[in-house]
């Protein structure tokens, strides 16, 4: 904030996209005389040094921006700090980088959440604290936000099953005058209460927006011709489109970024394993718009890379070792504008990969996609060379992954893409050449009997808790589900499972998901010499939507029932 000819940093803020920063309303209005919001600085660590260096390492230069506009919540009430939230639109897009910053000057502190009853009592003489819009945190002597922290973020760390991911849950608003000197907590604006306001502010109704680089308009979903056209073809694709391209609300009506239906040949889609909804019968009688739910992790207005600390995770899973499951394959598709991966598979010989039939001829495969190749020996799809730390000073690196063309696709002749039962969901991919086995490229065994054993493992690069595909190969242990109970569960959704299908999982938050389709369900079989061998006992076929629902196991094609078919369709 400029004060006469000086520049003074008095408040914090949080980047929520390349163009917008969220802060507190009291940071931008009712300022002292001669003060105004004059700029925003990003990437800062120590405001007294330039550049910021520590232990021989220097961070990238800071990025300075001018405020193009400042939007204060229309119901902001200074005396009580109600609706203490504002948005600053920057004059140019932010350039993201992954530069790790030093860790000594920028201050952080861990704070406990305080029950609202105690918070209301603490501030009853000064302000009326609202549980719906505000939250209280702290109250530990010597640990508190303070002057200069106003507008900055209160973050929640989600470390469930792995490295932390940070979520923006509060905005520093006000507290006791003597910061951290008493047991009085500080008050924060509750971000969840303002999600709709934020979306409407950064993309109001009728505003321009983009979908896959095509310009659209942010309008009511029910007024979008493209959504109506997609709905006539596929209810599931329409709902997926709404979730991906949601851009705000007008009252209680969801808005969608709508492009001219004539300008897009194929609606944005990904290859998914067939999905179910346990309430499908009742749902079919109501509009998908009425059942539409906001999924901010896929909102085109926000970065899908927000809050990233380390790798993402499969639904309830964990990261596999660098050389673990060397038979895992990624199935690649050629699109008009490039190549993508959308299914998994498993190497069973030097020339063949086993996958799901719906990955070869599924009803959700875009007509412009062509299955072209298979990638083997992959671990991290984001890196050219895959390495993991062996110690503090050394690392182990895998061989480079290989991409092999597919010369023949053989889906089971009895597979029906439009069938809800998805029986015979199995296929072979014949590679264009023999692959050479290495420590990172190996075949898995086919089952020699119908016995499944107890401990089952599924692996892949599929959808995670954050609704995005994982870049790192993940694994997850699943229990075998009782087939009769699984049959009954899916029967309630109008699906009749057959003999060639098995069920695994059914625990909340633990499941294979979109992107894992065609990948293997594996079992480790012990052999007489005491060692073990991995066997492909299942192929990921389909499951509930959303993935990882309690009581709804995933459905897998039972490989042992198809070993004769596999062998009959393989050739040298």
Place of tokens 């005389």: 33
Predicted local distance difference test score (pLDDT) of residue 388: 76
Q: Would you kindly state where each structural domain of the chain is located, as residue ranges?
A: 4-90, 203-258, 318-569
Predicted local distance difference test score (pLDDT) of residue 572: 78
Residues in the chain: 572
Distance set, CA 351 to CA 340, 346, 379 (Å)? 22, 11, 21
Predicted local distance difference test score (pLDDT) of residue 299: 38
Classify domain 318-569 by CATH architecture: Beta Barrel (2.40)
Secondary structure class of 119 (helix, strand, coil): helix
Residues in Cβ contact with 60 at an 8 Å cutoff, skipping those fewer than 6 apart: 43, 51, 97, 99
Predicted local distance difference test score (pLDDT) of residue 557: 95
Q: Which of 76, 75, 79, 90 is nearest to 41 (CA)?
A: 90
Contact 162, 199 (CB under 8 A): no
Residues in Cβ contact with 316 at an 8 Å cutoff, skipping those fewer than 6 apart: 161, 465, 476, 507, 509, 510, 511, 548
Predicted local distance difference test score (pLDDT) of residue 263: 31
Is 2.40.10.10 the CATH classification of the domain at 4-90? yes
In this structure, the number of other CB atoms found within 10 A of the CB of residue 407 comes to 11
The two domains 203-258 and 318-569 share their CATH topology (first three levels equal) = no
Classify domain 203-258 by CATH architecture: 2-Layer Sandwich (3.30)
Q: What residue ranges of the chain have pLDDT lower than 70? A: 1-7, 54-57, 97-118, 120-127, 139-148, 158-165, 176-183, 203-208, 210-213, 231-240, 243, 248-253, 260-320, 390-393, 453-454, 462-469, 508-515, 526-531, 545-548
Handedness of CA 355, 361, 367, 370 (dihedral sign): positive
**How far is 422 from 556, CA to CA, in rounded Å?**
10
Q: Which residues are catalytic?
A: 358, 425, 517
Q: Which of 501, 504, 351, 485 is nearest to 425 (CA)?
A: 501
Secondary structure class of 197 (helix, strand, coil): helix
Handedness of CA 363, 364, 369, 372 (dihedral sign): negative
DSSP-H helix ranges across 479-569: 483-491, 563-568
Q: What own/partner pairs with CB < 8 Å and gap ≥ 24 does 5-8 have?
A: 7/38, 7/39, 8/35
Secondary structure letter of residue 528 according to DSSP: T
**How far is 39 from 75, CA to CA, in rounded Å?**
24
Predicted local distance difference test score (pLDDT) of residue 176: 64
Q: What is the pTM of this model?
A: 0.46
Predicted local distance difference test score (pLDDT) of residue 479: 86
């Amino acid at each position: 904030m400029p004060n006469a000819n000086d520049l003074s940093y008095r408040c914090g803020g949080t980047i929520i996209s390349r163009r917008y920063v969220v802060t507190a309303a009291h940071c931008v209005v009712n300022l002292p005389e001669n003060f105004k919001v004059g700029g925003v600085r990003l990437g800062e660590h120590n405001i007294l040094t330039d550049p910021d260096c520590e232990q021989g390492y220097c961070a990238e230069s800071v990025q300075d921006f001018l405020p193009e506009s400042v939007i204060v919540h229309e119901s902001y009430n200074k005396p009580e700090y109600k609706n203490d939230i504002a948005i600053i639109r920057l004059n140019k897009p932010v350039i993201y980088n992954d530069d790790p910053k030093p860790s000594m000057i920028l201050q952080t502190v861990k704070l406990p959440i305080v029950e609202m009853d105690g918070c209301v009592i603490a501030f009853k003489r000064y302000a009326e604290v609202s549980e719906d819009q505000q939250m209280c945190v702290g109250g530990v002597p010597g640990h508190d936000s303070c002057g200069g922290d106003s507008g900055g973020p209160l973050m929640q760390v989600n470390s469930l099953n792995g490295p932390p991911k940070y979520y923006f849950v509060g905005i520093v608003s006000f507290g006791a005058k003597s910061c951290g000197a008493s047991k009085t907590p500080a008050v924060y604006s509750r971000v969840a209460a303002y999600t709709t306001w934020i979306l409407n502010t950064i993309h109001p109704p009728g505003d321009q927006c983009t979908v896959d680089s095509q310009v659209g308009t942010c309008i009511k979903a029910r007024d979008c011709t493209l959504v109506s056209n997609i709905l006539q073809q596929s209810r599931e694709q329409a709902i997926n489109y709404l979730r991906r391209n949601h851009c705000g609300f007008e009252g209680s009506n969801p808005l969608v970024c709508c492009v001219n239906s004539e300008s897009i040949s194929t609606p944005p889609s990904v290859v998914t394993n067939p999905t179910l909804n346990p309430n499908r019968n009742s749902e079919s009688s109501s509009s998908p718009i009425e059942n539409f739910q906001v999924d901010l992790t896929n909102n085109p207005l926000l970065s899908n890379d927000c809050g990233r600390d380390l790798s993402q995770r499969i639904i309830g899973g964990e990261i596999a070792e660098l050389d673990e499951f060397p038979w895992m394959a990624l199935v690649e598709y050629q699109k008009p504008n490039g190549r993508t991966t959308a299914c998994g598979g498993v190497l069973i010989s030097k020339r063949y990969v086993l996958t799901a039939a719906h990955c070869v001829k599924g009803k959700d495969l875009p007509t412009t996609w062509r299955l072209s190749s298979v990638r083997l020996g992959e671990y991290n799809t984001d890196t050219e060379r895959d390495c993991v730390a062996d110690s503090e000073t050394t690392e182990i690196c895998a061989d480079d992954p290989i991409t092999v063309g597919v010369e023949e696709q053989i889906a089971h002749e009895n597979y029906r893409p439009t069938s809800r039962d998805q029986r015979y969901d199995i296929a072979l991919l014949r590679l264009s050449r023999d692959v050479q086995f290495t420590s990172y490229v190996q075949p898995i065994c086919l089952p020699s009997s119908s016995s499944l054993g107890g401990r089952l493992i599924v692996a892949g690069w599929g959808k995670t808790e954050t609704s995005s595909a994982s870049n790192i190969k993940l694994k997850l242990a699943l229990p075998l589900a009782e087939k009769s109970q699984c049959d009954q569960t899916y029967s309630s959704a109008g699906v009749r499972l057959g003999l060639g299908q098995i069920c695994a999982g059914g625990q909340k938050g633990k499941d294979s998901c979109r992107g894992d389709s065609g990948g293997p369900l594996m079992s480790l079989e012990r052999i007489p010499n005491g060692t073990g061998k991995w066997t492909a006992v299942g192929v990921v076929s389909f499951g509930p939507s959303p993935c990882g629902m309690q009581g709804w196991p995933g459905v897998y094609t039972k490989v042992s029932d198809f070993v004769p078919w596999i062998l009959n369709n393989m050739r040298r």
